[in-house]
Structure 1
Amino acid sequence: MANETKQEPAWRNPWVWTLASIMGVTLLVNITLITIAFLEPPGLVVDDYYEKGKSYLYNKAQREKDLARLAWDLELDLPKSPQLAEPQPYLVRAVDRNGRPIEGARAEFAAFRPVEHGHDFVVAMQDVGAGYYAANVDFGLPGNWDLIVTVQQGEDKLDIAERIFIDD
C-alpha cells in the first residue's frame, strides 16, 4: 500500500479555479449589463405601442390604397450634408398623376430620433409655390434621424420617409 496516492481537494485543482473564474466573470458582466439597461433605458418603446401595433397593418393597407388612388408623387430634397445646430432648408415637391403641382395643401415635417426618446419634433412646412413646401430645420443632436414628411389636401394624405445622419 505504499503506492497509494493521496487525493487532493477539488478546490486546489487549477481547472476548477479556471471554470469558476469564467463563470464568475460572465455573471458579473451580465449583472452589469442588466443594471445599465435598467438605469439608462433608450426610450425606443412608444407609450401606446399596443394600439400602434394593432393599427399598423390597417394603416399600411390604407396607405397603399391612397397611393394607388391618388397617384401623387412626393420628392424630398435634402441638404447635401446636414449640419448640427444650423438651420437648413428641407423641401418636398408634390405633384399629381399628370405632373401638375399640388398647391394649397398642408405639409408637415416630422423628425424622430430612433436611439433616444424625447427629442422628436414636428415643423409645419410653408407653401412656396409650384408644388414645393419648405421648412428650415435645426437638428440639436448628432446621429441618425428618421424624417417623415406628410402632405395633406382635404381628406387626401400621403407621406414620404427618409433616414439621415447628422455629423457633430
Structure 2
Amino acid sequence: MSMSSAAGHSRRSTPRSPRQPGWYIPWLFVAGFAVVIAVNGVMLHFALSTWTGVQTEQHFLKGIRYNEDLAGARAQAERGWKVGLEFTGTDPLKGLVAVTLHDKHGNLLKDAKVRVTFIRPTSEGHDQTLDLPYLGEGRYAAPVTLTLPGQWDMRLVVDHSSGDYQDQKRIWVK
C-alpha cells in the first residue's frame, strides 16, 4: 500500500504559491518600450513617404552672396519704384498675372523685362516661369494655367535700364 500511496502522492500537483506583489512591473517596461518602438515606426514611415524633396539648391553660394543681396535690397529701396503684383483667378487652376510699374515720380516704366516665376513651396517639379509682355500704361500681364490647386509663391523679377526689382507674393489658387 505504501507503494501505491507514494505513487499517487507524487502525481498530485503541489499547490501554487500566490504571485508576488509587483510581478507585472517588468511587463510594464516591455509594454512601454513596445509603444515607443511602434510610434517611432509610424513616424519613420510618414517621414519617408511624405518627403517632397524640396531643398535649397546651391545653398552655400547663396550664403556667400548674402551681403550682395542686402546691397541690392538697399538700392531697390532707394529707387522707390511703385510696383503692383496681382494674380486674379479666372477659372480653377487658371488666372491672370499682372504687374504695374512706375518710378518714384509716377512715370511709367516701359521697355522692362518682366518675369514671374510660380513656385510650388510644398513640392518640386511644378514651377513655371512667364515672361510678361508690355500692354501699355506701365502694365505687363499674361494668362497662366497652374498644375495644382493650393499655395503658390509668385516671384517677380524686373530688369530695366534704370535698375532691377525683385519681390515675392504668396497666393492661393483654387
Give TM-score, length-normalised by structure 2: 0.78
Deviation at 1:127, TM superposition (A): 0.5
> Residue 159 of structure 2: SS of its match in structure 1?
strand
Counterpart of 1:26 in structure 2 is 36
The letter for the 1-side match of 2:84 is E
**Alpha carbons of 1:39 and 1:57: their partners in 2 closer, same or farther (altered >3 Å)?**
farther
Q: Which has the higher contact order (CA 8 A, sep 6+)?
A: 1
Please, which of 69, 80, 105 is the counterpart of residue 71 of structure 1?
80
Matched pairs, number:
158
Counterpart of 1:46 in structure 2 is 56
**Alpha carbons of 1:112 and 1:72: their partners in 2 closer, same or farther (altered >3 Å)?**
same
**Alpha carbons of 1:55 and 1:83: their partners in 2 closer, same or farther (altered >3 Å)?**
farther
Counterpart of 1:100 in structure 2 is 107
Cα distance in structure 1, aligned partners of 2:63 and 2:119: 18
Question: What do the CA deviations read for 1:24-77 (whole angstroms, capped 9, x no partner)?
Answer: 222222223223323442222123122223323431332222321x22111112
Q: Confirm or deny: 8 A CA contact 2:100 2:138 kept in the other structure.
A: yes
Cα distance in structure 2, aligned partners of 1:57 and 1:129: 36
Q: Confirm or deny: 8 A CA contact 1:77 1:91 kept in the other structure.
A: yes
Cα distance in structure 2, aligned partners of 1:44 and 1:59: 22
Deviation at 1:78, TM superposition (A): 2.2
Structure 1 window deviating more from structure 2 (41-50 vs 135-144): it is 41-50
Question: What do the CA deviations read for 1:100-144 (whole angstroms, capped 9, x no partner)?
Answer: 110111100111111101111111001001111102111110111
Aligned-residue CA RMSD in angstroms? 2.4
Counterpart of 1:144 in structure 2 is 151
Give TM-score, length-normalised by structure 1: 0.81
User: Percent identity of the aligned residues?
Assistant: 23
The letter for the 1-side match of 2:20 is E
Cα distance in structure 2, aligned partners of 1:50 and 1:32: 34
Q: Confirm or deny: 8 A CA contact 1:67 1:158 kept in the other structure.
A: no
**Alpha carbons of 1:72 and 1:37: their partners in 2 closer, same or farther (altered >3 Å)?**
same
Cα distance in structure 2, aligned partners of 1:7 and 1:53: 66
Counterpart of 2:68 in structure 1 is 58
Of the two, which has the highest radius of gyration?
2
Return structure 1 stretches of 4+ with deviation > 6 angstroms.
none
Q: Confirm or deny: 8 A CA contact 1:95 1:101 kept in the other structure.
A: yes
The letter for the 2-side match of 1:8 is Q
Please, which of 111, 118, 127 is the counterpart of residue 111 of structure 1?
118
